[in-house]
Amino acid sequence: MSAEIRYISKPHPLTGVTNSKLGIWCFLASEIMLFGGLFSAYILLRTGVPNWPHGSQILNVPLATLNTMLLITSSVTMVMSWASLAMHNFANYRRYMAATILLACGFLVVKSFEYGMKFEHHMFPSKNNFLGIYFTMTGLHVLHVIGGIIVNTYLLFPGSKMWKTNPEQFMGRVEAAGLYWHFVDLVWIFLFPTLYLL
Amino acid sequence: MSHSAEEVQKHVRTYIAVFAALAVLTIVTVYISYLHLPTPKAIAVALFVASVKGTLVAAFFMHLISEKKVITSILLLTAFFLVVLLIIPSIR
């Protein structure tokens, strides 16, 4: 008999939540500490020097505003894809999930333009502390966006077969992917003013 | 959390309202940055707007407003250590 993970669709009697949900939240808690460490480093760098440049002098605020809009829209489409499953509308689930992935790709395209313009002007992470922490924080965030695109693409295509065999577990997966995606949006909500507007 | 179709329909209306609020707050925070307030004031305002946006995402998109105690207590513990982490740079 294979050892299966229990309580992935039904709530565990002790916690009241599924083990999957407990798991993704523990992961997100560790992610909060990961990004927290970088925000802490940012504060240390910024308060350690007499003059810190205003983000808008170096970075492109309109492009970052566009990216903020793309990410918050993708957060809505993500939660709508989960809500569509809850309303047993699989066609809408696929539409909203596809929209989420496209918006995330749009974010990456805009971000690559931003990086490209910096590199053209020889503004690399090693140039100064501002660019160092900017590339570290946004780079780690971009890796998270790419991770989200991979998971969501799996759930849109091969992974969605599970909707027919085990709809409850599939909804749990979409919900967990959604929690992760909202977290990626949440990090950007703080990165945007910190790096670009202050 | 129950997933009855009617209840989800109600959620959907909330999601759209939250989306509108997030879009408006993004424009507000960019607009304020063009006013060039003195730095301490600018930091306070920008972080306040970001916190409101973050709370909206966590409460409604991540359903924390109706989440079980085990999840919220894990997050409270995390929030405590996050605050510790952010205070460390100011220790001189």
pLDDT band at B6 (very low <50, low <70, confident <90, very high): confident
In tens, the pLDDT along A21-58 reads: 999 999 999 999 999 999 999 999 999 999 999 999 99
- Judge whether residue B2 has pLDDT over 80: no
Domain assignment present for A4:
no
Query: Is A193:B47 a contact under the CB 8 Å cutoff?
Result: yes
Check if the interface score ipTM surpasses 0.85. yes
pLDDT-based confidence at residue A2 (cuts at 50, 70, 90): low
Q: Is the pLDDT of residue A1 over 60?
A: no
Report how many Cβ contacts below 8 Å link chain A to chain B.
125
What pLDDT was estimated at residue B5? 79
C-alpha A147/C-alpha A81 separation (Å) is 18
Whether A11 is in a domain gets the answer: no
| pLDDT given at position A124 | 97
State the DSSP string of B14-54: HHHHHHHHHHHHHHHHHHHHTT---HHHHHHHHHHHHHHHH
Assigned domain for A14 exists: no
Number of domains forming the structure of chain A: 1
pLDDT of residue B1: 47
Amino acid letter, residue B37: L
CATH of the domain at A149: 1.20.120.80
Encode pLDDT of A95-133 as tens digits.
999 999 999 999 999 999 999 999 999 999 999 999 999
Give the single-character DSSP code of B62: S
- Nearest alpha carbon to residue B33 among A197, A52, A62, A196: A197
State the Cα–Cα distance between residues A114 and A65, nearest whole angstrom: 12
Give contacts of A 22-81 with B, CB under 8 A: 22, 25-26, 29, 32-33, 36-37, 39-41, 43-44, 47, 56, 61, 65, 68-69, 72-73, 75-76, 78-80
Average pLDDT, chain A: 96
More confident residue, A34 or B3: A34
* Residue A13 domain-assigned (yes or no): no
For residue A9, being part of any structural domain is answered with no
- Cβ of B64 under 8 Å from any chain A Cβ? no
In order of A73, A159, A194, the CA distances from A77 in angstroms are: 6, 18, 26
Please indicate, yes or no, if residue A185 is contained in any of the structural domains: yes
A35, part of any domain: yes
Does A3 fall in a domain?
Answer: no
Where in the sequence is the domain holding A181, given as residue range(s)?
A: 19-50+59-197
